[in-house]
Amino acid sequence: VEDTDVERNRPELVEGILESLRWLGLDWDEGPVFQSQRLESYRAAAERVRASGHAYWCFCAPSSYAGADAAPEEAEEDAAEATAAAGAAKSPGTGATPQAKTLRKSACSCHSLSTEEQAAKRARGEAAAIRFHVPQSGSTQFQDAVFGPREVANEEMEDFVLLRSNGAPTYQLGAVVDDIAMDISHVIRGADHLSNTPKQVLLYRALGAEPPIFAHVPLILGPDRSRMSKRHGATSVASYKEEGFLPEAFRNFLALLGWSPGGDVELLTTTEMVEKFSLGGVSRTNAVFDRAKLEWFNQQYLQKMPVETLLPFVEEELRHAGLWREEWGSGAGREWFSRTVDLLRPRTRLLPDFSHWGRAFFSDEFEYDPAAREKFWKEPRLAEWLPKLAEGYAAQPEWNHDACDKTLRDLAAAENVKAGVLINATRVAIVGVAVAPPLFDTMVALGRERVVGRLRRAHAHLAAR
RNA sequence: GGCGCUAUGGUGCAACGGCUAGCACAUCACCCUUUCAAGGUGGAAAUGCGGGUUCGAUUCCCGCUAGCGCUACCA
């Protein structure tokens, strides 16, 4: 947990991150380790680098060096807005090129201070950061398992801060020190870190360690092709859980952003993904997050995963909607619940579908969908048929699919009406919506008592109009 | 501004010099269906632009353009 920036660190967010990882089914063998707990080792490392001549005390004030005195968060927002605005405007030849930033490298001359001067300033208690001294010439190279061999001219890199003047390490220092201490073999991270990697390679060497294998993976972009952020709405993993996505589906979708298992198969189990994965199969182009495809994955998992695996998710959804009944937790109730979920799931795309259009299967309190009513309750003679149907079902000896089918068709024949008219009207009467499983399966799931009661209730509703 | 990365249908990926550029999502049509889905069949839809190299370029090289990233005492 790279919580090195005490000013911006939000401890309460950490638990959310861990929870999201767990939800995704991603676990870990050690830790988590908090960098804020290891400050001493970073200070020691920074001091070692400085003592060996690869770094120096920098007495510049942070603001003067960074060139802006706006609060960091505001600056970030401004930058994001500016980027968004620029992307939206996009008119060619719009004058006013953005102001060139000042070259930072020449802005700090602290590295030319003599050892005595540095010591004197320190003795006077002047605040100082430790800044890495990047060689003025030569180049730094490293191997990236995704982007291939890389080489960057050292003069392109500016002297970067290792230890802030408040004693806290920067990301660059913390990451490298930890990876050395933890004997990390592969550093796999977002491609936004590609440009900073040579600095870290320099740091590894200054610390007397060989750099690990790096692998930079493409970024995920929003529909507007800018980096996924708060501006795109749901961005935290937790928000997808709340929307009713299954972790299996979300994980599968994510795995295919920037990676291909080869071949045409897209639905993959975790085991298959692990077997097929290789860094060589990782793409170098940023991927746009496609919500529609995510939903498709969710639908596929909703329909194909073992029903026992799905049950706990539906249970949680029903609890959330206030529809859950303890009797569905075990025994005969559990069996009914399982069969009903199985009946409903071919028509679901997100978990809340179970409590929305599937509501009437779990509760007697439901409304008639106006559109469905409009479409299937037009026939005036329904006012006569509904009570007759109710009586027919009340008197029906057996309660199963075929018997329910026969009762309805017999009435349709007797009344000289197409069975479809009665079927559609009855569906709306007993579940309130047009989106539902086949009628007679629905009747079996609901049971005689509820079907008869709801037919009478629908009749009363019709008569009242 | 500087440096870097990337560029195949609307989206995600295949094709890593050689079939009529393949698959999936989305989209359109039809089939199936006594609702709605699912499913099936078919259609439309792409190699950013310009130069090279080569018998042959989506693929290799250069330029342009565009997008993204880095250029912080953020990570």
Q: What digits encode the pLDDT tens for the residues A202-245? A: 999 999 999 999 999 999 999 888 888 777 766 688 999 999 99
Q: Which nucleotides of B are covered by protein (CB under 7 A)?
A: 1-8, 10-16, 22-26, 34-39, 66-75
Tell me what the mean pLDDT of segment A264-291 comes to: 92
DSSP state of A130: E
Q: Work out whether the CA dihedral A13, A16, A21, A22 comes out positive or negative.
A: positive
**Angle, nearest 10°, between helix axes A171-181 and A39-51?**
100
Distance A91 CA to B65 C1' (A): 14
Mean pLDDT of chain A: 88
For the question of residue A230 being annotated catalytic, the response is: yes
pLDDT tens-digit profile of A320-372?
Answer: 999 999 999 999 999 999 999 999 999 999 999 999 999 999 999 999 999 99
- How long is chain A? 465
Region at A459 (left for phi over 0; alpha for psi -120 to 50; beta for the rest): alpha
**Angle, nearest 10°, between helix axes A11-24 and A247-255?**
90
Comparison of pLDDT for A263 and A280, the residue scoring more? A280
Tell me, what's the pLDDT at A163?
96
A72 CB below 7 A from strand B atoms: yes
A192 CB below 7 A from strand B atoms: yes
Tell me, what's the pLDDT at A77?
39
Range with the poorest average pLDDT among A73-77, A158-162, A415-419, A427-431 = A73-77
- By DSSP bridging, strand A287-288 and strand A220-221 are parallel
Tell me what the mean pLDDT of segment A16-22 comes to: 92
In order of A105, A114, A165, A213, A457, the CA distances from A43 in angstroms are: 24, 22, 11, 25, 75
pLDDT tens-digit profile of A402-434?
Answer: 999 999 999 999 999 999 999 999 999 999 999
Tell me what the mean pLDDT of segment A435-450 comes to: 95
Is it the case that residue A298 has pLDDT exceeding 60?
Answer: yes
Q: Which residue is listed with tokens 């999201």?
A: A20
Tell me what the mean pLDDT of segment A241-253 comes to: 96
| Secondary structure class of A213 (helix, strand, coil) | strand
Which single residue has its CA nearest the C1' atom of nucleotide B34?
Answer: A420
Is it the case that residue A100 has pLDDT exceeding 90?
Answer: no
Cβ–Cβ under 8 Å, residues A198 and A150: yes
Q: Select from A183, A169, A135 the least CA-distant residue to A155.
A: A135
Binned at pLDDT 50, 70 and 90, residue A107 comes out as low
Binned at pLDDT 50, 70 and 90, residue A63 comes out as low
